[in-house]
């Protein structure tokens, strides 16, 4: 499999590295590391319009200063590589179209729910992050990980493990982090850039959303709803909702936290977090995916109706 992937990369004239919708540190860090390895013939696709830009907190990553956006990407690639993209639904519109018709597609991921939608699928279900999958890939392929690549992989692992907190973390994850640190990266500075670098409006916005959260099933389940008017009131971007579900889960009594984001079309994007309950059977009912304790789905109903459907499901568990 590794040789096959290397061969495809070598043969390709132009490579598109696809990150998932609502890009996070894992998908962006993994794509950036891959771009640094492949070089000039590779472009990274960030699935937002150009005016929205790469999430501010990840702009410091090497290789993310010049990326393609949904409105600037063209059909000019003979190899597409999806990184950290759990299902084909996490690629939208035009890029999904070109992905489906391209003869050479690769899917590198760590989601257990990934069904292997590409021609070549390197999926290590249960790994901490796609960053760790790539770390193994580079080592197995005897590709030297440079300091810049190490920074990207470290951000991928750090952010996808909630700072090495989640149960997906193994001794190999720490070993990978340790080896990446030996490349000379400043892990303390990276953590500050990822976590202590938020705009004031993000925190005041989140404070209001959290204040209005609801608690049900004896405070075991917490949920918060965000509407387009909330977003406008604080003038925040999509990425500024990151962390709300985790904050609600950090409450002692809460096992499951749910963040519902309703858009202008009354479609609701749902992010779920749990402490002990496996979320995957529930999100799969709504065609979503993810991990046991961090998953998501999209429900084509207003948030108030979506939460009723979800609570009906969780009534069976809590
Ligand atoms: Mn990931």
185 pLDDT tier (thresholds 50, 70, 90): very high
What is the Å distance from ligand 1's center to 197 Cα?
21
Q: Distance, CA 74 to ligand 1 centroid (Å)? A: 26
CA–centroid distance, residue 124 to ligand 1 (Å): 11
> Does residue 316 have a pLDDT over 90?
no
Give 101 Cα–ligand 1 centroid separation in angstroms.
25
Provide, rounded to the nearest whole percent, the portion of the chain with pLDDT above 90.
89
Measure 233 CA to ligand 1 centroid, in angstroms. 31
CA of 24 to the centre of ligand 1 (A): 8
pLDDT tens digits, 88-144: 989 998 999 999 999 999 999 999 889 999 999 999 998 999 999 999 999 999 999
Global pTM exceeds 0.85? yes
- Residues in the chain, overall count: 318
Alpha-carbon distances, residue 34 vs 23, 31, 138, 299 (angstroms): 16, 5, 9, 33
| ∠ Cα 205 45 137 (to 5°) | 105
Q: Where are the domains of the chain?
A: 2-195, 200-314
CATH no. for 2-195: 3.90.1640.10
Residue 106 pLDDT: 98
Q: Whole-angstrom Cα distance, residue 280 to residue 139?
A: 31
Q: Regarding the domain delimited by 200-314, which CATH topology (the fold level of the hierarchy) does it fall under?
A: Diaminopimelate Epimerase; Chain A, domain 1 (3.10.310)
Is there a contact between 95 and 45 (Cβ–Cβ < 8 Å)?
Answer: yes
Q: Which residues surround ligand 1, an ion (CB under 5 A)?
A: 26, 84, 129-130, 160
269-309 confidence digits (pLDDT tens): 999 999 999 999 999 899 888 888 989 999 999 999 999 99
CA of 190 to the centre of ligand 1 (A): 18
Phi then psi dihedrals of residue 298, to 5 deg: -120, 130
């Amino acid at each position: 499999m590794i040789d096959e992937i290397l061969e495809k990369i070598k043969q390709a004239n132009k490579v598109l590295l696809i990150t998932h919708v609502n890009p996070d540190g894992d998908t962006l860090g993994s794509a950036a590391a891959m771009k640094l390895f492949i070089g000039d013939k590779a472009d990274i696709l960030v699935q937002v319009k150009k005016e929205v830009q790469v999430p501010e907190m990840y702009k410091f990553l090497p290789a993310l200063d010049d990326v393609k956006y949904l409105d600037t990407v063209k059909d000019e690639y003979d190899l597409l590589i999806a990184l950290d993209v759990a299902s084909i639904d996490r690629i939208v519109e035009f890029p999904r179209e070109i992905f489906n018709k391209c003869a050479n597609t690769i899917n590198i991921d760590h989601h257990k729910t990934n069904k292997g939608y590409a021609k070549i699928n390197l999926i290590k279900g249960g790994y901490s992050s796609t960053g760790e999958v790539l770390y193994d890939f580079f080592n197995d392929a005897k590709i030297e990980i440079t300091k810049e690549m190490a920074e990207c992989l470290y951000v991928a692992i750090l952010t996808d493990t909630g700072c090495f907190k989640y149960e997906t973390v193994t001794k190999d994850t720490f070993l990978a982090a340790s080896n990446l640190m030996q490349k000379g990266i400043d892990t303390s500075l990276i953590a500050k850039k990822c976590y202590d670098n938020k705009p004031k409006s993000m925190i005041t916005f989140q404070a209001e959303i959290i204040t209005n959260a609801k608690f049900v099933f004896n405070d075991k389940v917490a949920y918060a709803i965000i509407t387009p008017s909330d977003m406008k009131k604080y003038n925040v971007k999509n990425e500024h909702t990151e962390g709300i579900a985790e904050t609600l889960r950090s409450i002692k009594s809460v096992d499951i936290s749910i963040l519902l984001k309703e858009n202008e079309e009354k479609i609701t994007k749902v992010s779920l977090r749990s402490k002990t309950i496996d979320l995957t059977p529930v999100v799969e009912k709504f065609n979503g995916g993810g991990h046991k304790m961090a998953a998501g789905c999209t429900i084509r109903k207003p948030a108030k109706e979506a939460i009723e459907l979800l609570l009906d499901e969780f009534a069976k568990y809590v």
